[in-house]
Structure 1
Amino acid sequence: MSAAPGPKANGSAYTARFRVWRGDADGGELRDFDVEVHEGEVVLDIIHRLQATQANDLAVRWNCKAGKCGSCSAEINGRPRLMCMTRMSVFAPDETVTVTPMRAFPVVRDLVTDVSFNYTKAREIPSFVPPPGLRAGEYRMRQEDVGRSQEFRKCIECFLCQNTCHVVRDHEENKQAFAGPRFLMRIAELDMHPLDSAEESGLDRKSAAQEEHGLGYCNITKCCTEVCPENIKITDNALIPLKERAVDRKYDPLVWLGNKIRRR
């Protein structure tokens, strides 16, 4: 078949070749579709048009279509992306656009994957521990301290970082011991929170990150940072500092001595 025609000078519609994965947990295959594209559209628009016109039973997860719910995560030409934030203008008109489900998680059907692994890991992270004697509404923080963890609060839990992390993606056996970048970032956020009183209650977040949540598995390739749609510097601002604090806690002789003295 000849290449699909490109858009006309006046910005009218053109036909694009889409290759979409169809199947379920028992297996599937890539199928080709020719779908109309209009100026300004994103991949999710084309998937919706395909669903409306040619594949009514195509399963796809989405909600806000504004890059804030994290629902429409998929792999587009092999790269983990949000379908609603991937503009068709980044592809050549005659380029085949391949859309597949996230590879790190079990397929439910078509582009929908079972991401319950992430919710299991979320429940394993102990929550914020309020300072003793302070009630809600009485917390006081400096703006510079707020800014340190505010970046991590932008996370929309699209789980693209979890999907692209090779520790999870390529080694199913690691999932039990490894929380993944999204939840190690959560630990880092709580550990640097100036009002978190976890240590006073006997919870050492740095040690827990290393011993219980697999911080040592991370080899800081920065692939999680590269796919984050919120541009959170997961590796540089969360994982590396957390690793440094964990190492200090475990191996720094002065810290070790101080801990011994405090225990006495």
Structure 2
Amino acid sequence: MSYDGRFRVWRGDADGGDLADFTVEVNEGEVVLDIIHRLQATQAPDLAVRWNCKAGKCGSCSAEINGRPRLMCMTRMSTFEEGETVTVTPLRAFPVIRDLVTDVSFNYEKARAVPAFAPPADLAPGDYRMQQVDVERSQEFRKCIECFLCQDVCHVIRDHEDNKQAYAGPRFLMRIAELDMHPLDQADRRQAAQHEHGLGLCNITKCCTEVCPEHIKITDNALIPLKERVVDHSYDPLVWLGSKIRRRRD
């Protein structure tokens, strides 16, 4: 079964642009990315769009569909009514390069700012040992495909450009939480999370969790536990006293 679908697609570049109206054939079982490809093939050959796997695993085709950050390859056309106009726009939190392609280099800069895994200096790689429960705690976070939908929907980044310098965003705060949970990691990441990566700016609205295509519970399993450990380390009087005693003994 086919029908003519109505679409509004953002066309433009860093200097500006606007939504353009198109009528494109929609076939049963298709996703939004199929429509964008057909639009390129039939009406707008110069339409810029980033994509790779078309299987929901590379994170390349992130866009905003009817105002919600989604993967175009995982958004089925069957979720929309036949007469509904489907609007496709670039990720709002990042600068537009052209059409649906945005400059997401902000995220790679934040990734480089997170110190790598730091095992004990005297422990050889073959001697690493972990309990299965510790493996399971961080296994969920390894499913991240770096689509940056969580970064896009986070209002701290999305609505406040001046926060970007001091705020890593949910994807990289989750990475810090993952490393902090690792029993072999020797770095103290809690103070850096608070003072260098902006953990305190996160107000746990769970919007990042809601848009994650891998269904990672970013807020509940990463950000809230990390906040709790930061508070314990900084404000719990018993923890504070214990750190002073250990420091004196050293």
Same fold (TM over 0.5): yes
Equivalent residue for 1:251?
A: 235
Q: Which amino acid aligns with 1:85?
A: M
- Is 2:224 the partner of 1:235? no
Equivalent residue for 2:100?
A: 111
Divergent runs of 4+, >2 A: none
Comparing 179-188 and 129-138, the one that deviates more: 129-138
Counterparts in 2 of 1:75-94, with a 5 A limit? 75-94=64-83
Q: Which amino acid aligns with 1:92?
A: E
SS across alignment from 1:249? helix
Deviation at 1:137, TM superposition (A): 2.8
Q: Which amino acid aligns with 1:225?
A: T
- Is 2:41 the partner of 1:57? no
Distance 2:19 2:79 in 1: 22
Deviation at 1:113, TM superposition (A): 0.2
Comparing 135-144 and 189-198, the one that deviates more: 135-144
Equivalent residue for 1:173?
A: 162
- Is 2:182 the partner of 1:186? no
Q: Which amino acid aligns with 1:234?
A: I
Distance 2:242 2:51 in 1: 51
State the Cα deviation string for residues 33-65 of structure 1 (Å, max 9, x = none).
Answer: 000111111000000000111000000000000
Comparing 71-80 and 130-139, the one that deviates more: 130-139
Choose the corresponding residue for 1:34, options 6, 23, 39.
Answer: 23
- Is 2:159 the partner of 1:134? no
Distance 2:119 2:229 in 1: 21
Counterparts in 2 of 1:133-152, with a 5 A limit? 133-152=122-141
Quote the sequence identity (%): 83
Aligned length: 248
Q: What do you get for the CA RMSD once the two structures are aligned?
A: 0.6
Equivalent residue for 2:153?
A: 164
Equivalent residue for 1:25?
A: 14
- Is 2:191 the partner of 1:207? yes
Where does the alignment leave 5 or more consecutive residues of structure 1 unmatched? 1-11, 199-203
Comparing 128-137 and 12-21, the one that deviates more: 128-137
Deviation at 1:18, TM superposition (A): 0.7
Distance 1:207 1:179 in 2: 14
